[in-house]
């Protein structure tokens, strides 16, 4: 028989009262109390019993439980020590879950994946991310080139929209590019604040990021490509020429080289960063590289 879901308001309250648990605002703790939403998140991740899952911030195990039922193995990172005995209790029916008491931003995730899942095993990241560290966690997962198929994560609706934004929209920026370079990004669900305890101040969204087989554009120097995209959005109202001149190292002294590079890449100097596609940024970074090579 299937165990009673953790993610109901009554059961969540019972567990919190049993352990005298109080929410820590500093850790961005908002627990999901709606099993249907959890089922939806897991189904968007497309997990089967042959797949592994990585979770960040399992809380009292509401999503972890659904992941344990749907996948082969689950590895979850929990920073709050007070939650460890609760998780040991709530997840006791499942023998395929490993809880790691560590900050995922400091963890050697690749090594831990090997330990938990075995050599050469991939995983899907599925999580209700703490709002205050959403972006660093997603970027770490992608930039560390971990063997992950993708991420299906809940985050602030506004951040989800920025990640999935298309060129020419006001949401589009260096974050959109940093993530779309590695993945195909799609907002798959909007989640009202009423399904959380305590209720956050903003609505949430679930975004699905499926890893591309190879990056969206081929560039000569990945780190420099990201430097160029960040520089291009430093001040949104400025033209790409002004932003690059003020942001790149010795940019003011190299204004002529920047103009020549823009021309070489077929980009009008008067355009703004938000109008450029990933392909155009790729061409621009490669054109600028010889003038600003980072050693």
User: How far is 69 from 94, CA to CA, in rounded Å?
Assistant: 8
Orientation of helix 278-288 relative to helix 222-232, angle to 10° = 110
Q: Is 128 annotated as a binding residue?
A: yes
What phi, psi does 286 have (nearest 5°)?
Answer: -65, -35
Please report whether residue 1 resides in a domain.
no
Q: Is 103 annotated as a binding residue?
A: yes
Question: Do 199 and 272 belong to one domain?
Answer: no
Question: Do 200 and 238 belong to one domain?
Answer: no
Question: Do 145 and 287 belong to one domain?
Answer: no
Token readout for 212 is: 């591309």
- CB 181 within 8 Å of CB 216: yes
Helix (H) or strand (E) holding 19: helix 9-19
**Distance (Å) of CA 149 to CA 17, 111, 126, 293:** 38, 17, 11, 32
Number of domains in the chain: 2
- CB 60 within 8 Å of CB 83: yes
Token readout for 22 is: 């109080």
CATH of the domain at 258: 1.10.8.100
Last residue of a domain, one of 211, 230, 252: 211
Helices marked H in 165-277: 174-180, 222-232, 240-247, 255-264
Token readout for 274 is: 């938000």
> What 8-state DSSP symbol labels residue 47?
-
Please report whether residue 217 resides in a domain.
no
Last residue of a domain, one of 148, 180, 211: 211
> What 8-state DSSP symbol labels residue 166?
P
Each residue's pLDDT, cut to its tens digit, for the chain (295 residues) gives 456 788 889 999 999 999 998 877 666 678 898 999 999 999 999 999 999 999 999 999 999 999 999 999 999 999 999 999 999 999 999 999 999 999 999 999 999 999 999 999 999 999 999 888 899 999 999 989 899 999 999 999 999 999 999 999 999 999 999 999 999 999 999 999 999 988 888 899 999 999 999 999 999 999 999 999 999 999 989 999 999 999 999 999 999 999 999 999 999 999 999 999 999 999 999 999 999 975 4
Range of the domain at 189: 9-211
Question: Do 14 and 38 belong to one domain?
Answer: yes
Token readout for 237 is: 């109202």
Nearest to 96 by CA among 53, 130, 133, 138: 53
Beta bridge partners of 152: 126, 208
Question: Do 191 and 231 belong to one domain?
Answer: no
Q: Is 30 annotated as a binding residue?
A: yes
Last residue of a domain, one of 186, 211, 236: 211
Burial class (CB in 10 A: 0-12, 13-18, 19+), 10: exposed
Question: Do 85 and 201 belong to one domain?
Answer: yes
């Amino acid at each position: 028989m299937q165990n009673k879901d953790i993610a109901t308001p009554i059961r969540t309250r019972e567990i919190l009262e049993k352990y005298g648990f109080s929410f820590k605002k500093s850790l961005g703790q908002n627990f999901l109390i709606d099993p249907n939403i959890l089922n939806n998140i897991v189904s968007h991740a497309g997990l089967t019993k042959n797949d592994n899952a990585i979770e960040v911030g399992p809380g009292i195990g509401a999503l972890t439980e659904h992941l344990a039922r749907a996948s082969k193995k689950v590895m979850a990172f929990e920073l709050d020590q007070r939650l460890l005995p609760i998780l040991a209790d709530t997840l006791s029916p499942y023998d395929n879950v490993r809880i790691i008491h560590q900050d995922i931003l400091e963890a050697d995730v690749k090594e831990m994946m090997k330990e938990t899942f075995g050599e050469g095993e991939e995983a899907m990241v599925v999580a209700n991310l703490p709002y205050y560290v959403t972006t660093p966690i997603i970027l770490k997962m992608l930039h560390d080139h971990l063997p992950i198929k993708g991420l299906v994560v809940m985050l602030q609706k506004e951040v989800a929209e920025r990640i999935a934004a298309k060129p020419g929209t006001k949401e589009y920026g260096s974050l959109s590019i940093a993530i779309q370079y590695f993945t195909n990004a799609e907002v798959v669900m909007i989640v009202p604040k009423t399904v959380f305890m305590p209720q956050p101040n903003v609505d949430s969204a679930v975004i699905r990021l499926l890893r591309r087989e190879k990056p969206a554009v081929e560039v000569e120097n990945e780190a420099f490509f990201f430097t160029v995209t960040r520089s291009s959005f430093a001040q949104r109202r400025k033209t790409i020429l002004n932003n690059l001149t003020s942001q790149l190292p010795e940019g003011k002294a190299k204004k002529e080289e920047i103009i020549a590079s823009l021309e070489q890449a077929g980009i009008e100097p008067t355009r703004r960063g938000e109008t450029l596609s990933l392909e155009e940024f790729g061409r621009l970074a490669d054109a600028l590289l010889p003038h600003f090579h980072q050693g």
